[in-house]
Amino acid sequence: MKSVVVGVLVMAGLVIAAFAVQPEGGASSQKGSKEAVKEVASTGQPKGEKAQGDAQQEEKFVYFKMTTSKGDIFLELNNELAPISTANFRAYADAGHYNGTIFHRVIENFMIQGGAFKPDMSKMPSFAPIENEWTNGLSNVRGSIAMARLGGRANSATAQFFINVTDNGFLDQPRDGAGYAVFGRVVKGMDVVDAIRKVTTGNKGGMGDVPIEPIVIEQVVELEPAQVEELELVESED
């Protein structure tokens, strides 16, 4: 029985690796995006008004509000331990890339995945892949957000991400040469995540585990410090 359980877990890890991200095609999603990605890859920061040199490097956490058709999910991204992944997510959010995409892969006792497909299953173009930060010490526990990628290609993550709905520590292990890089966590809205994980899924666009009724990511916006404080997203140190 133990060997069967281990086998299932290994297969789950390989499935998310192989299915998570498909090779990108087409032009980038916005003018100048190639330059923005080069900046992310080399400095861990995107170009633009929010990339402010040393000041941004000192940000330990960055907060985002993800508005979905099921409700709001609030994310705390760890800019200290996962600066490249955080800057990458920020660049896509700033570009409006996630707006109108869906959670295209939902497995009730595993994770919910999104960031690349429209409701009609057409794929959004993306920036260049980023470095895998899987050794940063963050774990694939329930509520964590991590980068999806191609199996066997550690540094292939682009726009797609997944939120763990259970503790998936096996994804921390280098089963294909590397683990899956966690770069933050849900700090508010796990009830929304749990609602999404329980939706009915089926096959669509040649893919499995796709929600029958599209779960749309309507908007992803970065929150200002005052908004973070008002929403009480930061836990007290007392």
- What is the CATH classification number for the domain harbouring 7? 2.40.100.10
The tokens for 160 are 């797609």
* Residue 218 within any structural domain of the chain: yes
Does pLDDT of 120 surpass 90?
yes
Does pLDDT of 25 surpass 50?
no
Residue 35 is classified by DSSP as: H
* Residue 25 within any structural domain of the chain: yes
* Residue 237 within any structural domain of the chain: no
Please state the φ and ψ torsions of residue 18, each to the nearest 5 degrees.
-75, -35
* Residue 100 within any structural domain of the chain: yes
* Residue 236 within any structural domain of the chain: no
Task: Please write the tens of the pLDDT for every residue from 80-105.
Answer: 999 999 999 999 999 999 999 999 99
In the chain the beta strands, taken as DSSP E runs, fall at 61-68, 71-78, 101-107, 111-114, 144-147, 161-164, 182-188, 201-204, 207-211, 216-222
User: Mean pLDDT of all residues in the chain?
Assistant: 84
* Domain coverage including residue 113: 2-230
What pLDDT, on a 0 to 100 scale, did the predictor assign at position 236? 62
Q: Mean pLDDT across the stretch 104-118?
A: 98
Assessment of whether the complete model's pTM goes beyond 0.75 = yes
* Residue 44 within any structural domain of the chain: yes
What pLDDT, on a 0 to 100 scale, did the predictor assign at position 26? 33
* Residue 173 within any structural domain of the chain: yes
Task: Please write the tens of the pLDDT for every residue from 136-185.
Answer: 999 999 999 999 999 999 999 999 999 999 999 999 999 899 999 999 99
* Residue 238 within any structural domain of the chain: no
Exposure class string for 170-191: b at 16+ Cβ within 10 A, else e: ebbeebbebbbbbbbbbbbbbe
How many structural domains compose the chain? 1
